[in-house]
Chain A
Amino acid sequence: MKLELKNIHKSFGDKQVLKGISFSAESGKAFGLLGRNGAGKTTTIRILMDVFGANDGEIFIDGSHIDYTKIKTGYLPEERGLYPKKKIIDQLIYFAELNGMKRQEAVKSIDYWLERLGMAEYRGKRLDTLSKGNQQKIQLVTALAHNPDIVILDEPFSGLDPVNAMILKDVVKEEIANGKIVLFSSHQMNYIEEFCDSIAILNSGKIVLQGDIYKIKHNYVRDKLVVRSEDADAIRNALGSCCVKTDEKELLIRLTSAEEKQKMMKQLTEAYDIDEIKVFEPSLNDIFVEYAKEQY
């Protein structure tokens, strides 16, 4: 199954929130939707979930317009919250029924998920008697219990301890393996790198970067060198402003072009005592900061 968003525009009043968003995600793969606060992620998710319509643009599933009576979506919102004073099982059934399940199959599925997440003992308890992390696991059940085709997880790992994070990782991997389209939104780049094959970075309502993570990283202009040396200070003095000290013995050297790198490497290894020298490859974090920083 392939989900495609094409040229989505959305304005609230005079404020243009989305200025032509297009991306596609495939089943069996996770897609990372990145962006700073206010970049338009939540609006994109809400349009995708049919909370409100877009002013322009279309959403397709396998080439035809999305039909919400057939395609089910599951959502873990960033702002968590259910009914604090109600019994967990009651509200889980309520949400599963709202998402189109029959009561009996809802109970069966919820019990499976509670068991899977180690929450079965809390079934009949009130939500506000649970810790924050456990409440979050309950919220996860509302996103998964009705067996959705598209799973949207907004900051799923925030507030979870390492053990719970492990459980969630397994669950997410399982969902991906089960052929779901998993949409990920997070500021924790290590998780994005771990799960997502491709990403899109949103900035001020536009997609400023998208594609396969590996390719993005590899295609990144290779015009910087990382140098580790006992003579770091001497090198810096010699090269001047194109050289930045990133650590006690580490330097980042910006070259005028990528072709320069071979020559510079040779020069440096001949002139100084070099422990390590390599072409700089940005982490996803670096890429995110670079693309999300400037407001377009």
Chain B
Amino acid sequence: MKQFGTIFKFELKNYLKNKIFAGVTVFLVAVIAVVMFFPSIMDAINGDEAQSEDGKEIEAVEITGIMLLGTNGVENGEEIRQSFGEAFLEYEVLLSEDDPDVIKEKVTSGEAECAFVLNSPTSYTYYVNNLSMYDMNTEIADELLKTMYGQNAMVNGGMSPEEARDILAVQIEHETESLGKDQMQNFFYTYIMIFALYMVILLYGQMVATNVATEKSSRAMELLITSAKPVSMMFGKVIASCLAGFIQILVVFGSAILFYNLNQSSWEGNMIIASIFDMPPELLVYMLVFFVLGFLIYAFMFGAIGSMASKLEDINTSVMPVTLLFIAGFIVVMMSMSSGDVDSLLMRICSYVPFTSPMAMFTRIAMSTVPLYEVAVSIIILIGTVIAIGVAAAKIYRVGVLLYGTTPKIGSIIKAMRKA
């Protein structure tokens, strides 16, 4: 136990003194600081220029180009141009009587940015040089023409233009009350937490493997095994890296929460940011539980693999199966998160399989309503597996650290474990 403490302290100090560890942490905190202070900084720079009396920013859209509207003989061209002008604030909308070919030519040459050529009141051709992925112009035009068509029809049917406009402009009011969890709200923080879980486990797991393999290849192991028990070595390393990862998460998340609170007023209008920081505190407890258990499972496996490698170069290929297993779990969770169906059969299975449950069960708890007993079963399975894998890893480690030369086959590893 004393040896474990010595090893744990030594390993933890290695992490905290590591320049890359400190660098990444400082960098992340700096990025979060810039993001969180961004609105306040912008406000300070812009002063009150962009502020109107009620404190809301005025939308001052700059005109970026010319949009041509070829009427092609369709009536009420001017009326259409006007409503287009109101809808497309970033364009100067010009009416054109030219032939479609001439209009096309103008778009190609860059004289106009884009052009709508009407064939009838309900059909048109949209000309644009390079169609951007985010080009919403046709959707806006569709909506405009539809409204105008409807309005004309109503007027022709005997209504006054005002009445018609009011009917078409009617707004439906609605309210949603989520009785379980609101995925709109919890999507972002779940996403961030799963991603943090993924990054930390993968990063630190690989570090554990590299760490062990380095001790082996530098032959420091020759002395270590005669000075300390392999079990203390393994557990000291893994738990130190777990704590280092946890400290990093704590610093990064903690500073994010701190910076958010300092700038809370500037973020009031932003739904996404507000939803992220509005996460329930019990979720943080779950995050902690699943982080620690998930971390241990993978770190033990990575440590055992590291002990079997005789060269540092071998590490990348030997950790591949474990890494792939982990990534597969991550992808399943991410896919179901974006589909919104976090309680699918696959996710239910994944939330009991110990290699995927830290992410899958956490996602389900965060984004859906999971009965408490299911959570408990999942955590119990996870704890059991952590213990089993820890014991197995320590056995592999004991044998592995003394093996040099060819990487042993799985069969001989199992044999060695039985003997150990």
Taking Cβ atoms with an 8 Å cutoff, the residues of A that contact B are 13, 46, 49, 51-52, 73, 75, 77, 79-84, 94-95, 97-100, 139, 142
B168 at the interface (CB under 8 A from A): no
Report whether A75 and B219 are in contact in the complex, using a CB–CB cutoff of 8 Å: no
Given the known interface contacts A13-B415, A97-B6, A98-B6, the answer about A82 and B227 at a Cβ–Cβ threshold of 8 Å is no
Of B10, B219, B415, the residue contacting A77 (CB under 8 A) is: B219
Of A13, A46, A82, the residue contacting B218 (CB under 8 A) is: A82
Nearest 4 pairs of A and B residues by beta carbon: A81-B219, A77-B222, A98-B227, A79-B219
Chain B residues in 8 Å Cβ range of A73: 226
Who on chain B is nearest to A79 by CB? B219
B220 at the interface (CB under 8 A from A): yes
Report whether A79 and B228 are in contact in the complex, using a CB–CB cutoff of 8 Å: no
Give A68 Cβ to nearest chain B Cβ, in Å: 10
Report whether B227 and A83 are in contact in the complex, using a CB–CB cutoff of 8 Å: no
Chain B residues in 8 Å Cβ range of A84: 218
Who on chain B is nearest to A49 by CB? B226
Q: Would you list 17 pairs from A and B whose C-beta atoms are within 8 A, ordered by A residue?
A: A13-B412, A13-B415, A52-B398, A73-B226, A77-B222, A77-B223, A80-B219, A80-B222, A81-B220, A81-B221, A82-B218, A83-B218, A94-B10, A95-B223, A97-B6, A98-B224, A98-B227
Who on chain B is nearest to A98 by CB? B227
Report whether A75 and B6 are in contact in the complex, using a CB–CB cutoff of 8 Å: no
Bound-state CA distance A95–B226 (Å) is 10
B7 at the interface (CB under 8 A from A): yes
Besides A52-B402, A80-B222, A99-B227, 14 more A-B contacts (Cβ < 8 Å) are A13-B412, A46-B402, A51-B225, A51-B402, A79-B219, A81-B220, A82-B218, A83-B220, A94-B6, A94-B10, A95-B223, A97-B6, A139-B223, A142-B223
Report whether A46 and B226 are in contact in the complex, using a CB–CB cutoff of 8 Å: yes
Bound-state CA distance A100–B227 (Å) is 9
Bound-state CA distance A46–B402 (Å) is 10
Near A by CB (< 8 A), chain B positions 264-320 give none
Of B222, B226, B402, the residue contacting A81 (CB under 8 A) is: B222
Report whether A75 and B415 are in contact in the complex, using a CB–CB cutoff of 8 Å: no
Report whether B218 and A81 are in contact in the complex, using a CB–CB cutoff of 8 Å: yes
Report whether A98 and B415 are in contact in the complex, using a CB–CB cutoff of 8 Å: no
Give A137 Cβ to nearest chain B Cβ, in Å: 15
Chain A residues in 8 Å Cβ range of B10: 94
Taking Cβ atoms with an 8 Å cutoff, the residues of B that contact A are 2-3, 6-7, 10, 215, 218-228, 398, 402, 412, 415
Bound-state CA distance A142–B2 (Å) is 18
Bound-state CA distance A139–B224 (Å) is 12
Report whether A75 and B226 are in contact in the complex, using a CB–CB cutoff of 8 Å: yes
Chain A residues in 8 Å Cβ range of B2: 100
Report whether B223 and A82 are in contact in the complex, using a CB–CB cutoff of 8 Å: yes
Chain A residues in 8 Å Cβ range of B224: 98
Chain B residues in 8 Å Cβ range of A13: 412, 415
Query: Counting chain A CB atoms within 10 Å of each CB, which of B6, B7, B10, B223 scores highest?
Result: B223
Instruction: Give chain A's interface secondary structure class.
Output: loop
Who on chain B is nearest to A75 by CB? B226
Chain B residues in 8 Å Cβ range of A94: 6, 10
Given the known interface contacts A73-B226, A77-B223, the answer about A98 and B218 at a Cβ–Cβ threshold of 8 Å is no
Give B245 Cβ to nearest chain A Cβ, in Å: 21
Give A135 Cβ to nearest chain B Cβ, in Å: 11
Report whether B219 and A95 are in contact in the complex, using a CB–CB cutoff of 8 Å: no
Given the known interface contacts A51-B402, A95-B227, A99-B227, the answer about A79 and B222 at a Cβ–Cβ threshold of 8 Å is yes
Chain A residues in 8 Å Cβ range of B398: 52
Bound-state CA distance A167–B348 (Å) is 69
Give A10 Cβ to nearest chain B Cβ, in Å: 12
Bound-state CA distance A46–B224 (Å) is 12
Report whether B228 and A98 are in contact in the complex, using a CB–CB cutoff of 8 Å: yes
Chain A residues in 8 Å Cβ range of B227: 95, 98-99
Give B275 Cβ to nearest chain A Cβ, in Å: 44
Give B147 Cβ to nearest chain A Cβ, in Å: 71
Give B24 Cβ to nearest chain A Cβ, in Å: 18
Report whether B220 and A98 are in contact in the complex, using a CB–CB cutoff of 8 Å: no
Give B64 Cβ to nearest chain A Cβ, in Å: 56
Give A43 Cβ to nearest chain B Cβ, in Å: 10
Chain B residues in 8 Å Cβ range of A49: 226
Bound-state CA distance A114–B224 (Å) is 20
Chain B residues in 8 Å Cβ range of A80: 219, 222
Who on chain A is nearest to B233 by CB? A98
Chain A residues in 8 Å Cβ range of B223: 75, 77, 81-82, 95, 139, 142
Bound-state CA distance A98–B223 (Å) is 11
Give A101 Cβ to nearest chain B Cβ, in Å: 10
Of A52, A77, A98, A142, the residue contacting B7 (CB under 8 A) is: A98
Given the known interface contacts A13-B415, A94-B10, A97-B6, the answer about A51 and B220 at a Cβ–Cβ threshold of 8 Å is no
Chain A residues in 8 Å Cβ range of B220: 81-83
Chain B residues in 8 Å Cβ range of A79: 219, 222
Query: Counting chain A CB atoms within 10 Å of each CB, which of B225, B227, B228, B415 scores highest?
Result: B227
Give B2 Cβ to nearest chain A Cβ, in Å: 8
Chain A residues in 8 Å Cβ range of B219: 77, 79-81
Bound-state CA distance A51–B6 (Å) is 19
Chain A residues in 8 Å Cβ range of B3: 98
Who on chain B is nearest to A83 by CB? B220
Who on chain B is nearest to A13 by CB? B415
Who on chain B is nearest to A46 by CB? B226
Bound-state CA distance A84–B312 (Å) is 15
Who on chain A is nearest to B232 by CB? A98
Chain B residues in 8 Å Cβ range of A97: 6
Give A136 Cβ to nearest chain B Cβ, in Å: 12
Bound-state CA distance A80–B412 (Å) is 28
Bound-state CA distance A82–B220 (Å) is 4
Who on chain A is nearest to B412 by CB? A13
Bound-state CA distance A51–B223 (Å) is 10
Give B6 Cβ to nearest chain A Cβ, in Å: 5
Bound-state CA distance A79–B402 (Å) is 12
Bound-state CA distance A80–B218 (Å) is 8
Bound-state CA distance A139–B415 (Å) is 34
Give A147 Cβ to nearest chain B Cβ, in Å: 14
Chain B residues in 8 Å Cβ range of A75: 223, 226
Chain A residues in 8 Å Cβ range of B7: 98
Chain B residues in 8 Å Cβ range of A100: 2
Report whether B218 and A51 are in contact in the complex, using a CB–CB cutoff of 8 Å: no
Bound-state CA distance A173–B2 (Å) is 33
